[in-house]
């Protein structure tokens, strides 16, 4: 069957209650695979409007303004495999997303107002680098096979640190390229950017503190979990407003975008599961048997021993084989990274019999590799696919792999 996924920011949102008017639900373009702290999504073009709290495994919609608090972090996995890892005190809008699953092509545009994020390109950029635009206060960033980190200060100054590929910042003063891993390009609105050069230690510490796997793990303490649960509320029917200073204020007990939370999230339809992020309940509803998910992708090492990684040994592969026993309700995992300088592996078994929420989990080798996974429902089938991402950081060596989606077998 010929399938395509096309969505743009012309979706209409109804503010009337569901009983008074038909609600036009926005179309999900990806998943908030990992959420730490408090993260909220606000109505487009309505900075004072009521929004929603985003939790792990919930969908992300085109045109929403995603806002993270002082301890808020999330990883957004888009349908083409693009990944945004978003740090604290960030405000960004995925304002256009068009993706044809059959051709593996489309368009992606994001508008980042402030904050810090890591971007890893997906299939849209692989098909046509010019189809991806990251808009910053200092200019528009184009990419080519890229992984990069960006910090946007409140005054609009943008620092772009390249990990792999190439990037070009287009400003009123011209276009400026960054092509060497480990270099940073800094630009201010209305001014000629500084020449690209090695990133200083302070900037690297900022990115590490806000975006590293350790920064996410640090927020899984009982106190942080309790704070996030309190923010979500007993029934998650919690709204927020944004005051003039940009701080988030609670306005609980209201409906979201004129609809209840259950209307807003991906629904079940006709007995088949909705497409998108799966839950542990979805896996438990599979009556028995077992299945394997096998995936392999390119891994690019950005630094080696604290220096930019150069040479053929910087590119390798990462892979995973995960087996699910639906009757025993266990997942057995085996993951690895191999480059000319890195050999990392992780394996284990865990039970999902008592787990709740999004069917997402993280493997850690304990030696630098962090492997993140999310089961996806597709074509009306629960857990038909497993989406994996990977990052490595140890001893001054860093790198990441392209997102890989593996289909269940048999």
Q: What is the pLDDT of residues 172-202, one digit of tens each?
A: 888 999 988 889 999 999 888 888 888 888 8
Q: Whole-angstrom Cα distance, residue 21 to residue 16?
A: 6
> Do residues 360 and 34 lie in contact, with contact meaning Cβ atoms separated by under 8 Å?
yes
pLDDT of residue 298: 92
pLDDT of residue 182: 87
The answer, yes or no, to whether the previous bond of 410 is cis (omega within 30 of 0) is: yes
Residue ranges in the chain whose pLDDT is less than 70: 1-27, 43-51, 213-275
pLDDT tens column, 84-138:
989 999 999 988 888 887 787 889 999 999 999 999 888 898 889 999 999 999 9
Residues of the chain with CATH 2.40.160: 272-407
First to last CA, the chain: 20
What is the Cα 83 distance to its own chain's centre?
Answer: 4
Q: What is the largest CA-CA distance in the chain?
A: 63
Residues of the chain with CATH 2.60.120.1440: 5-261
Tokens of 108: 């992606």
pLDDT of residue 77: 83
Which fold is adopted by the domain 272-407? Porin (2.40.160)
What Cα–Cα distance (Å) separates residue 248 from each residue in 17, 100, 140, 239, 245? Answer: 24, 36, 28, 10, 9
Which fold is adopted by the domain 5-261? Jelly Rolls (2.60.120)
pLDDT of residue 16: 33
């Amino acid at each position: 069957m010929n399938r395509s996924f096309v969505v743009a920011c012309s979706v209409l949102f109804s503010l009337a209650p569901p009983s008074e008017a038909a609600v036009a639900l926005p179309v999900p373009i990806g998943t908030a695979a990992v959420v730490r702290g408090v993260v909220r999504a606000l109505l487009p073009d309505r900075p004072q409007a009521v929004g929603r709290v985003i939790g792990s495994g919930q969908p992300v919609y085109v045109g929403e303004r995603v806002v993270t608090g002082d301890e808020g972090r999330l990883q957004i996995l888009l349908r083409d495999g693009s990944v945004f890892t978003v740090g604290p005190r960030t405000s960004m809008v995925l304002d256009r997303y068009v993706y044809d699953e059959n051709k593996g092509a489309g368009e992606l545009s994001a508008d980042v107002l402030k904050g810090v994020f890591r971007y890893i390109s997906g299939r849209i950029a692989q098909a046509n680098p010019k189809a991806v635009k990251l808009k910053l206060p200092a200019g528009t960033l184009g990419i080519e096979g890229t992984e990069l980190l960006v910090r946007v200060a409140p005054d609009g100054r943008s620092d772009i640190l390249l990990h792999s590929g190439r990037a070009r910042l287009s400003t009123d003063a011209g276009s400026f390229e960054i092509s060497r891993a480990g270099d940073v390009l800094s630009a201010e609105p209305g001014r000629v950017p500084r020449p690209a050069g090695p990133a200083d230690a302070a900037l690297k510490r900022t990115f590490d503190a806000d975006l590293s796997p350790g920064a996410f793990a640090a927020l899984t303490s009982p106190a942080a979990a309790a704070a996030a649960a309190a923010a979500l509320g007993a029934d998650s029917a919690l709204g927020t407003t944004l005051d003039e200073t940009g701080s988030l204020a609670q306005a609980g007990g209201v409906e979201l975008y004129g609809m209840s939370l259950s209307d807003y999230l991906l629904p079940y339809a006709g007995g088949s599961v909705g497409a998108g992020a799966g839950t542990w309940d979805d896996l438990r509803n599979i009556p028995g048997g077992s299945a394997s998910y096998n995936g392999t992708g390119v891994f690019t090492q950005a630094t080696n021993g604290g220096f930019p990684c150069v040479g053929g040994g910087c590119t390798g592969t990462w892979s995973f084989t995960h087996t699910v026993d639906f009757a025993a309700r266990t997942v057995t995992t085996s993951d690895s990274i191999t480059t000319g300088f890195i050999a990392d592996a992780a394996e284990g078994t865990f039970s999902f019999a008592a787990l709740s929420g999004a069917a997402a989990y993280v493997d850690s080798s304990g030696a630098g590799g962090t492997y993140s996974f999310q089961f996806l429902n597709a074509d009306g089938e629960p857990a038909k696919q497993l989406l994996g991402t990977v990052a490595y950081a140890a001893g001054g060596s860093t790198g990441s792999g392209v997102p890989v989606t593996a289909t269940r077998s048999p």
